[in-house]
Structure 1
Amino acid sequence: MSLELGQPIPDFTASATSDTTFTLSALRGKQVVVYFYPKASTPGCTTEGGDFRDRKAQFDAANTVIIGVSRDGIRAQENFKAKQDFNFELISDKDESVCQLFDVIKLKKLYGKEHLGIERSTFLIDSEGNLAHEWRGVKVPGHVDEVLAAAQALHNGH
């Protein structure tokens, strides 16, 4: 299944940090940034999460909720969130159901070996639950600024 711009994202529920359950439909009326990262507490993922953390007030002002997703277990996610002082929740997607929904599991190469892993990707969902923007194969530097600009433009009706 592939998601298309302007089309509704199927509703999903997943376990998240702070003993919460994330349900997409519960956020109708708000924009949502769902960003996927390969592994908690690794350098690129730490930088990306920190960039979202540092701009959270600006995302809040644009009526946008941030949620991070990886295949790490809930304890690893809680540790990552606490250590980095993230001010948003992280989803533990061990069964890859959310990853499959957004089609972010890709064949990757590491040290010459192939494995399936999360391709760093970000999705911006509008306040009605439709896919507004997607970024795949993300490079971390400058990425969060791009996402913020898109969230602000969407919020301002552009």
Structure 2
Amino acid sequence: MSQVQPGTQVQDFTAASTKGDIRLSDLAGRKVVLYFYPKDSTPGCTTESQDFRDAHGDFLAENAVVIGISRDSLRSHENFAAKQELPFALISDTDESLCQQFGVIKMKNMYGKQVRGIERSTFLLDEKGVLVREWRGLRVPGHVEQVLEAVRQIP
């Protein structure tokens, strides 16, 4: 499967989440924010998820759905979502199918060792499921504000 490119239709998928199965095609007519993060309950991922949580109402006002994705189990996601009071779904991508589709698996340095993991990335899809913007290898501070501004720019 080739990695999705900006300006192209994102291949439909169905995935297990904390809000039940999510099918991308069922979200047609809404903007979709998919944020990939390395691991539940780690400092950067917690801050990023809290930032999306705190801006959730603003995304809803723009007809946008926010969905977090990592390789953690559904149980881990449910605990993380409950602890952080996340109002949006977290997809469990244990088989890495979505990670592969979006090309977010990278070799990273962790404490001097090479490890394979998710590169923090966000993807914005328009109401027709076309990828209109992507952020890769991003930094958490200020990121959610950038995504919200990009959502507002979609006509």
TM category, shorter:
over 0.9
* 1:11-37 deviation per Cα after TM superposition (whole angstroms, max 9, x unaligned): 01110003x001101000000000000
Counterpart of 1:134 in structure 2 is 134
**Matching residue's letter, 1:39:** K
Q: Distance in 1 between matches of 2:61 and 2:125?
A: 16
Counterpart of 2:82 in structure 1 is 82
Q: Distance in 2 between matches of 1:2 and 1:93?
A: 16
Q: Distance in 2 between matches of 1:73 and 1:3?
A: 24
Q: Distance in 2 between matches of 1:22 and 1:108?
A: 29
Q: Distance in 2 between matches of 1:25 and 1:133?
A: 19
Q: Distance in 2 between matches of 1:2 and 1:94?
A: 18
In structure 2, runs of 5+ residues without a counterpart are none
Any idea what SS the aligned residue of 1:46 has? helix
Q: Is residue 30–residue 65 contact of structure 2 (8 Å, CA) maintained in 1?
A: yes
**How far 1:125 moved relative to its partner?**
0.3
Counterpart of 2:4 in structure 1 is 3
Any idea what SS the aligned residue of 1:67 has? strand
Any idea what SS the aligned residue of 1:116 has? strand
Deviating above 6 A after TM superposition, structure 1's stretches of 4 or more consecutive aligned residues are none
* 1:60-80 deviation per Cα after TM superposition (whole angstroms, max 9, x unaligned): 011100000000000000000
- TM-score norm. by structure 2 comes to 0.98
Counterpart of 1:59 in structure 2 is 59
Q: Distance in 2 between matches of 1:6 and 1:99?
A: 19
Counterpart of 1:101 in structure 2 is 101
Q: Distance in 2 between matches of 1:91 and 1:109?
A: 25
* 1:121-148 deviation per Cα after TM superposition (whole angstroms, max 9, x unaligned): 0000000000010000010000000000
Counterpart of 1:149 in structure 2 is 149
Q: Distance in 1 between matches of 2:115 and 2:69?
A: 19
**Matching residue's letter, 2:59:** F
**Matching residue's letter, 2:9:** P
Any idea what SS the aligned residue of 2:134 has? strand
**How far 1:2 moved relative to its partner?**
2.4
Q: Is residue 107–residue 117 contact of structure 2 (8 Å, CA) maintained in 1?
A: yes
State how many pairs are aligned. 154
- TM-score norm. by structure 1 comes to 0.96
**Matching residue's letter, 1:82:** A
